[in-house]
Amino acid sequence: MSGALRCSVHCCQINELWILVAGGGGLNMASSLASMVVGVDAEKATAEHWGTVVYGEIDAVKECDFDLITAFHVIEHLPDPVGVLEQLGQKLAKSGRLIIEVPSAEDALLSLYDSEAFQRFTYWSQHLYLFNCNNLRVLAEKAGFRVVAISQFQRYPLSNHLYWLSKGEAGGHQKWSFLDNPLLAAAYSKALSDIGKCDTLIAHLELE
Average pLDDT, the chain: 85
pLDDT at 3: 35
Predicted confidence band of residue 1 (pLDDT cuts 50, 70, 90):
very low
pLDDT tens digits, one per residue of 192-202: 999 999 999 99
Contact 205, 98 (CB under 8 A): yes
CA distance 180 to 188: 10
**Beta carbons within 10 angstroms of residue 177's beta carbon:** 12
CA distance 20 to 36: 12
pLDDT of 40 strictly over 80: no
- Strand partners of residue 22: 9, 71
pLDDT at 159: 98
Query: For residue 112, what is the DSSP state?
Result: T
Q: Which long-range contacts (CB under 8 A, 24 or more apart) does 158-167 make?
A: 158/184, 158/185, 158/188, 161/108, 161/109, 161/113, 164/109, 164/113, 164/115, 164/117, 164/118, 165/109, 165/113, 165/115
pLDDT of 125 strictly over 80: no
- Percent pLDDT > 70 in the chain is 76
Predicted confidence band of residue 89 (pLDDT cuts 50, 70, 90):
very high
Predicted confidence band of residue 72 (pLDDT cuts 50, 70, 90):
confident
In this prediction, residues 83-97 reach a mean pLDDT of: 91
CA distance 133 to 95: 24
In this prediction, residues 58-78 reach a mean pLDDT of: 83
Distance of CA 89 to the CA centre of its chain: 16
Predicted confidence band of residue 38 (pLDDT cuts 50, 70, 90):
low
Exposed/middle/buried for 175, CB within 10 Å: 0-12, 13-18, 19+?
A: middle
pLDDT at 13: 55
pLDDT at 172: 97
pLDDT-wise least confident of 17-31, 68-82, 108-122, 126-140: 17-31
Start-to-end C-alpha separation, the chain: 23
Looking at CATH, the fold of the domain delimited by 1-103 is given as Rossmann fold (3.40.50)
Q: Where are the domains of the chain?
A: 1-103
For 92, the 3-state DSSP assignment is strand
pLDDT of 22 strictly over 70: no
CA distance 27 to 49: 11
